[in-house]
Structure 1
Amino acid sequence: MIEIYFASSSSGMVRQFAERLGRPAHDLGDRDVRRSVPEGPWVLITPSYKTGNPDNDTIPEPVRRFLRDPVTRRRMVGIMGSGNRNFGSHYQAAARTIARISGRPVLFEFELQGTQWDVADARKVLDELEVALEAAHSA
């Protein structure tokens, strides 16, 4: 089963979304989680923040630290992003930047904590990804 690793601010909106996906969800705010290495394929859920400084990176520090490990990066199969459309060009900046750098796809984007329909759509994306990975592995 594809597991979820997420970064969430104190508002807990990304945590709420991750926990509603019905899969193991690991909080990158926890030091032990950040120091772990996923055993199999995993998906990152990251928020993006408007920094007001276009030169300032919007990737949360816990995500940056977790992705330092080459095995962790290699096992990541995709990214989901949470953002706020009020941030304009910064909307989904972290997810899109990580996707560009890692060569992994942005699987799903949602605003704030997501709606019940977003959760259902994200679950479907994860289920389809899991089927595709199993098919590729057995081929």
Structure 2
Amino acid sequence: MRTTPVYYYSSASGLVRSFAERLDRPVFNLAERQHRMSRVDGPWVLLTPSYKTGNENNDTIPEAVRRFLRDPTNRRRMVGVMGSGNRNFGRHYQMACRQIAERSGRPVLFEFEIAGTPWDVTECRRILAELDAALAAGHDVQLG
């Protein structure tokens, strides 16, 4: 059974990277040019933080994520979105994840705050394992 990879963006703080690396599956950091410029070869999941600096005109989606999603193959093969956020952002909490899910028609699979807790990691692993099984069984997972 194929293990669905997770492509993520992590800033210099490394909080999202720390979470992604605990998922026990292939993970690729979109902050690294080689991954950001790559094309996926099958179903994959996006893990993105949301950022908001207080300026209403600033977007919450990291530019590296935008660049990766500009590739039509990458967009088509994305099967779900997960988000990291900070509740201090108020109504902007998880906005990047939710906007990408809405625009792409893909589900939000999981959301967690900041670097996540051990429970978050365990729960996210369970959800991703279910996704792997559904994909392997050929269930109707939107690939565009």
TM-score by length of 2: 0.92
Matched ranges for 1:24-39 at <5 A = 24-39=26-41
Deviations 1:55-105 (A, max 9, x none): 321100000000000000011110110000111001000000000111111
Name the residue aligned to 1:116. Answer: 118
* Structure 1 position 32, deviation (Å): 0.9
Amino acid at match of 1:23: R
Count of residues in Structure 1 that have an aligned counterpart in Structure 2: 138
**Superposition RMSD in Å:** 1.2
Deviations 1:23-69 (A, max 9, x none): 01101011111111111111111001122123321100000000000
CA distance in 2, matches of 1:97, 1:52: 18
TM-score by length of 1: 0.96
Greater share of helix residues, 1 or 2?
Answer: 1
1:103 aligned onto 2:105: yes
1:43 aligned onto 2:45: yes
Aligned partner of 2:24 among 13, 22, 25: 22
CA distance in 1, matches of 2:139, 2:102: 24
Identity %: 65
Aligned partner of 1:133 among 119, 132, 135: 135
Give structure 2 stretches of 5+ with no counterpart.
Answer: none
Structure 1 residue runs of 4 or more that deviate by more than 3 Å after TM superposition: none
Amino acid at match of 1:116: P
CA distance in 2, matches of 1:61, 1:50: 13
Name the residue aligned to 1:70. Answer: 72
* Structure 1 position 128, deviation (Å): 0.5
Amino acid at match of 1:120: T
Amino acid at match of 2:106: R
CA contact under 8 A between 2:51 and 2:59: conserved in structure 1?
no
CA distance in 1, matches of 2:56, 2:124: 29
Give structure 1 stretches of 5+ with no counterpart.
Answer: none
CA distance in 1, matches of 2:24, 2:60: 27
SS at match of 1:73: helix
